[in-house]
Amino acid sequence: MNPMPIRLIILGSSAGLASAHRASSSYLLDCGDYGIMFDCGDGATRNFLSMGFRPEWVTHLFISHTHADHICGVSYFVQQRHLSRTDVPLAIHCAPEAVDFLTDVLQSGYLFLKRLSFDLVFDPVEPLTPWRDDHVTVTPYPTTHVDPMRAYAREHGWPDRGGCTAFHISAGNRSVLYSADLGSLDDLKSIPDRIDWLVIETSHVNLGDLWPWVDERNIQQVILTHIADDFDLRAADDAETRTSAKVLIANDGLTLDLN
Ligand SMILES: [Zn+2]
Ligand SMILES: [Zn+2]
C-alpha cells in the first residue's frame, strides 16, 4: 500500500529580526485530511490562508519555545479557528512551563478556553518522548537556545517559560529534523535518529561547521531557514562545494514532498 502523501510546507522563514519579505517561523505538515503546524509566528496565518488551507484543518500545533517570532501568531490562529465555529479539537504541544503563559495570552485576548467553539487541550512536550498518530511520529529534543535566558529569569524571580525544543518528524518515507532555534550546532549532535532532511535555522549556526556534520550524518537535503534579510543568499551556491547534500534556502510557500 502506498503511504499517505505528506508534504512539508514552509509558512514562515524569517529570523527573529522581522523581515519585509518573509513571515516569521512556522512550518506545516500537510497530512491530507489534517495538518500539523510547528510554531506560529507573525504572518503565518495570512500565508496559511493564501495557500488555501482552513484553520480548523490544523489539529495539532507544536511550539518550540516562547520567543515572539515563534508564537506571536498563536492567539490569532486560535481566533480564526474559533470564528470558523469549528468543533474540531486542537492540541497545543509545548513545554509544560509554557502552558500557563499561552493560556494567559489567549485569555487576555478574550479567547477563554471554556468558551471556544472547539476543545483546546494542552499536551505538554516530554523531551525524547515521541508523539504519534497513524501517519506521523514527532520526537522532541531539547536545545540550549534559551538556557541563558531561563537562568536570567530565575535569578530575577521571573517565571521560567520552559526550554527550546527541536522536533524530529518521521512521516511519509522521510525523517526530517526541524532544529527550531539552537544554542549551537552541538545541540543536534547527540540526536540518535536518522535524519534524511534537516530544516535548520541560520541565526545561531556557523555554516562552516555545519557541512562536515551534515556529511558525517549522511543527511540528504538541508533547508536553511530562520533567514534574516541580510543573510547572504549565496550560501547555497557555496555549499555545493562543501557538502554532498542538496541545499535549499527556505522561502515562504516552499513545499517539499516527503514521500
Ligand atoms: Zn527564532
Ligand atoms: Zn528563539
CA of 164 to the centre of ligand 1 (A): 10
**How is residue 64 written as a grid cell?**
518550540
Please give the share of the chain, as a percent, with pLDDT higher than 70: 99
CA of 232 to the centre of ligand 2 (A): 20
**How is residue 93 written as a grid cell?**
504541544
pLDDT band at 2 (very low <50, low <70, confident <90, very high): low
Question: CA torsion angle for 226, 228, 234, 236 (degrees, to 10)?
Answer: 0
Grid cell 534579510 in the structure block, residue: 229
**How is residue 150 written as a grid cell?**
531561563
Ligand of minimum distance to the alpha carbon of 18: 1
Segments making up each domain of the chain, as ranges: 7-257
Residues with Cβ within 8 Å of 134's Cβ and at least 6 positions away in sequence, in order, are: none
Q: 3-class SS at 40?
A: coil
CA of 64 to the centre of ligand 2 (A): 9
CA of 42 to the centre of ligand 1 (A): 11
Ligand of minimum distance to the alpha carbon of 39: 1
Residue 19: exposure state from Cβ atoms within 10 A (0-12, 13-18, ≥19):
buried
CA of 252 to the centre of ligand 1 (A): 15
CA–CA gap between residue 28 and residue 24 (Å, rounded): 13
CA of 68 to the centre of ligand 2 (A): 8
Q: pLDDT for 98-122, tens place per residue?
A: 999 999 999 999 999 999 999 999 9
CA of 249 to the centre of ligand 2 (A): 19
> What's the CATH architecture for 7-257?
4-Layer Sandwich (3.60)
Residue list, CB under 5 A from ion ligand 2: 67, 181
Q: Is the pTM of this model over 0.75?
A: yes
pLDDT band at 147 (very low <50, low <70, confident <90, very high): very high
pLDDT band at 181 (very low <50, low <70, confident <90, very high): very high
Mean pLDDT of 125-142: 97
Mean pLDDT for the chain overall: 96
C-beta separation of 8 from 27 below 8 A:
yes
pLDDT band at 238 (very low <50, low <70, confident <90, very high): confident
CA of 179 to the centre of ligand 2 (A): 11
